[in-house]
Amino acid sequence: MRGRRFALLAVLILACAASGATVIAVPPESPPASTDAASAAFVYAGDAITVEAEPRQAIRGETTLDPGTEVTVSLRSTGDTEPRFVQRETVTVTPDGTFTAAVDFSQQRGGGTFSARLLYDGEVVDEAPGEIVASDGSTPGPTATPAEASSTPSTTTERTDERFLPGFPKSLLSGTVGDSVSIEITVSPGGTATLRIGGEEAGYETSATVRDDDGDGSVTVVFDTAAASDPERVLAVADDGDTLVSTTSDRAVSVPLDPGDYDLALYEGGHLADDDHLDDVGSLRLQSAPETESATPTTTPQAATPTVTTATSLATTVPLDGLDVVSPSVLGAGALVVGVLLGGAGVVLVGGALRR
């Protein structure tokens, strides 16, 4: 008799336990270790990057960026360097964390100077001064005597201050075909500059001459890629305090523009396509517009035929407050089935025990 009571008690305990929901907490995985921000810088000896007036002069640097990453070396003549120049080279980081740009200085003379900027993802990450020496390592030649200097008025004084050279604060830009892109340029306060977008390689070209009427030394040009063939709409200035002096545009281009890279060139004043007045270069990458997803008709899923199985095979894991837990709803459903079966068995045993 006592054995039957213990058996009955065990059945009732199992039935009660099976009808409850169980939550099993699993500790979350440890977060990945944080990494330091990537860095990149020019490497040179002395106070400036020194190159010879020869082709394929190496400008080197090192970085913590991943191998295969592209960085851009942008060079621009400074002071009274003649002939003036702007050059840009995109190079790839090597497996040992270095990069090298081979630049042609064969058209330059010793004694010139330049500024070097290193760009990654459109941002300037390092800057350095540079100097050009003659191919034999000496500084060039004759300098003007005081008499000669006084008899010939200088025409480059206003250009020796870098603040008055037009430039791109951000020379690598990106946008989407069909949208408008804002291109910021710096100019001398109250001065003018000419922006050219595209060129022969891109199959499209447009340009605008703008004036900084509010005297803040900056003009933002808005490029409407959806109006690429309309010279009246393709370019505008964002600030009412500035003036769009004139524009030109290629009417034969397809609208909208094709995705791809479009060169940016900035000239002093209204000197379009005059390399003697080229002050800075950049690039605009236009990406394809994202495809619009069409609505997909949905169907109501058929109700699944209930099956009897063990509670452990029905358990699923879902995130909850940073922990992985076994879903109570799933365990509850399985436990309910098992509980009904065990409860029925318990009733039978109880009835038998009472009859005895």
d(CA 336, CA 19): 5
Question: Each residue of 102-131: b (16+ CB within 10 Å) or e?
Answer: ebebeebbbbbebbbbbbbeeeebbebebb
d(CA 76, CA 108): 12
Q: Is the pLDDT of residue 326 over 90?
A: no
Band the pLDDT of 14: cuts 50, 70, 90: low
CB of 231 closer than 8 Å to CB of 253: no
What's the chain's average pLDDT?
A: 73
> Comparing 138-152, 163-177, 286-300, which segment has the lowest mean pLDDT?
138-152
d(CA 286, CA 190): 31
- Average pLDDT in the 17-24 region? 48
d(CA 59, CA 48): 11
- Average pLDDT in the 197-204 region? 86
- Average pLDDT in the 186-192 region? 87
> Comparing 79-88, 152-161, 296-305, 346-355, which segment has the lowest mean pLDDT?
152-161
Structure tokens at 221: 């040009």
d(CA 24, CA 325): 5
Structure tokens at 177: 């075909």
User: Which range has highest mean pLDDT (55-64, 112-121, 335-344)?
Assistant: 55-64
Q: What is the pLDDT of residues 301-313, one digit of tens each?
A: 555 555 544 444 4
